[in-house]
A and B are shown apart, each in its own frame.
Chain A
Amino acid sequence: MENAKILIVDDDPDFTVMLKTVLEGEGYVVDTAPGRAEGMEKIQADKPDLLLLDVMMVTWSDGFEMARDIRKNPEYKDMPIIMLTGVEQRTGIGFKSSAGDPEWLPVDGFLDKPVEPHVLIAEVKKVMSDKP
């Protein structure tokens, strides 16, 4: 899906620029938001095709809670979400070990920070093709 809209929600501006550069290089239209509230606003305004969500922003589970909010809303419940996280965050301490458990971690994919460009692109393409 060329020219698909991707929204990045991450509070690290430098990391956001890096993700944006890689994704724009692949032809995606990328927008960014530095936090949960701004992210929700942009979702409502632009209806992105995919969300890249950092799990740790203001609190350790900000992204996690945002993903749950999105899934609760019937309008966006099918929006693909990739969560950016550290391995240690999903090893059984507060997180289930696998993606796709709708009760626990309602996301479609994981990416470990730091992320290599080819891994990022591959995951985005995979999630996009899984959820047309």
Chain B
Amino acid sequence: MEPVPEDIRLLKGAYWLTRLRWIAIVCIPVGTYVCGNVLGIALREIPLYAVATLLFVYNVAILVMLDRAVKADQHVSPRTVKGIIHLQICADLILLTVLLHFSGGIENPLVFFFIFHMIIAGILLSPRESYLQATFAVLLFGLLVLLEHKQYISHYCLEGFVPHCLQEGMLYILGTFLVFATGLYVAVYMANYIAIRLKHTERAYRQANVMLQEKDRIKDEYVSRVTHDIKGHLATIQGCLAVVVDRMTGKLDAQEADLISRAHARSIKLTNFVRALLRLTQMRLSNKLEKADFSMGEALRSATGAVEAKAGDKSITLNCNIDSSADKVFGNQFSIEEMVTNLLLNAIKYTPANGTIDVSAGSDETSVLVKISDTGIGIPKEEQARVFDEFYRATNARKAERDGTGLGLSIVKYIVERHEGQIQVESEEGCGTTFKLTLPRTA
């Protein structure tokens, strides 16, 4: 999992705030109407509707600002986004204070809504910044309560909701204010604490992931080195045995000749395995693959040509239907041919004599599509998902063919992935298998 960059995280937070605000913009007029007209609570309805309208206008303005910031620069600076978030929280706190003023001040339980902004600030902003926002909120609320208590501004009593105006009682004001201030700071502290813990956990996971990838790379290097050494010795053994097998007729007795032939055959199998393993690890270790434009049709014809004789040995019909649109793929032609050859050799291996293999290719707007179908033994449904796993061989494949590396399809999948393509398998046991390959087309 890639870490979310700070600018993206903040940008998402800024948009999140605007979405939450739409809820407030709807709830304020509805609440005002219900409280004033249904519940019969004395409310200054006009200023409250005005606050909702103001909130609407300012939310649109914020959205325009955010969109501009995103369009102006592909990499939005975290400072700009943070500035917009600060602006949003401050404006919200001011508007909430104004709303409270026109709806009973300290008597209105809406004072709890200050907490929401503290949690948002605690998540999105640094601890210092969120404590500053909490202080701003405490000052705003304190000022409102003080001014209303001292009657410097008028207090609009929530008649119908409270029995008498509460802003007059000094003890009530002080108590509520203290609880309010403490609540705000505690909310900021908790939100900060959780956000920081989450960030730490995320970092730890990321580090663990990087370490695992590094370990995997070391393992690949180790396997690559070991197999390479083995392959060198094996090449010599196989080569020497091949010479003996070629010339032994008449010189060795039947038993000796049989043993040498067996040793030669096994050395070939071992070489194939080591070669596949080496190919896979080397592909995993190399970061780049030399790519160029090439004709997919040509690659397919070349791969089919390479396996024609093998198909002929088993009297398998090899049909090729390559549309001229299956052209122009950007990639490594050698790897693609190797991959198609692997699929074809598999098809030949697991298709009984006199079977058919169809290779077809076409394209759509963005991709070149290749289909390789056979009339072979198929893959059991429950095993289809695993056939691309390293060293995995389907149970019926193991029964049909004792020898096989279990690496062929892993190499296929790896090559497809390195070309940003996709491969799918469709198969029915006893009927046949179809591999569907999609590779991005060059424009």
Contacts and interface: CB of A to CB of B under 8 A. Distances in A.
Interface of A: 12, 14-15, 17-19, 21-22, 25, 86-88, 90-93, 96-98, 113-118
Contacts of A93: 282, 286, 288-290
B235 A113 contact: yes
B243 A12 contact: no
Contacts of A15: 235-236, 239
11 contacts: A14-B236, A15-B239, A17-B240, A18-B240, A19-B239, A86-B278, A92-B290, A97-B290, A113-B231, A114-B242, A116-B239
A86 B247 CA distance: 26
B287 to A, nearest CB: 9
Interface string B232-249: 101111111011001100
B333 interface: yes
A26 B288 CA distance: 42
* Among A12, A98, A113, A118: residue with most chain B CB under 10 A: A113
B334 interface: yes
Interface of B: 231-232, 234-240, 242-243, 246-247, 267, 271, 275, 278-279, 282-283, 286, 288-291, 332-335, 338
Nearest to B290: A92
Given A96-B290, A97-B334, A116-B242, A88 B236 contact: no
Nearest to B238: A114
Contacts of A96: 290
B236 A18 contact: yes
Nearest to A113: B235
A114 B271 contact: yes
A14 B240 contact: yes
A114 B332 contact: no
Contacts of B238: 114
Contacts of A118: 246
A111 to B, nearest CB: 11
Contact of A92 (B240, B242, B246, B332): B332
A34 B344 CA distance: 39
A19 B366 CA distance: 49
A43 to B, nearest CB: 24
A108 B236 CA distance: 23
A12 B231 CA distance: 12
A85 B168 CA distance: 95
Given A12-B232, A18-B236, A86-B231, A117 B282 contact: no
Contacts of A21: 243
A22 B243 contact: yes
Nearest to A93: B286
Nearest to A15: B236
Contacts of B288: 93
A114 B234 contact: yes
Contacts of B236: 12, 14-15, 18, 114
Contacts of A25: 247
B243 A18 contact: yes
A12 B236 CA distance: 8
B111 to A, nearest CB: 67
Contacts of B246: 117-118
A56 to B, nearest CB: 8
* Among B271, B286, B333, B334: residue with most chain A CB under 10 A: B334
Contacts of A86: 231, 275, 278
Contact of A18 (B231, B239, B247): B239
A30 to B, nearest CB: 14
A116 B246 CA distance: 10
Nearest to B239: A18
A92 B332 CA distance: 7
A117 B290 contact: no
A92 B334 contact: yes
A95 B246 CA distance: 33
A91 B235 contact: no
Contacts of A14: 236, 240
Nearest to A22: B243
A92 B286 CA distance: 10
B280 to A, nearest CB: 9
Nearest to B418: A92
Nearest to A25: B247
B275 A90 contact: no
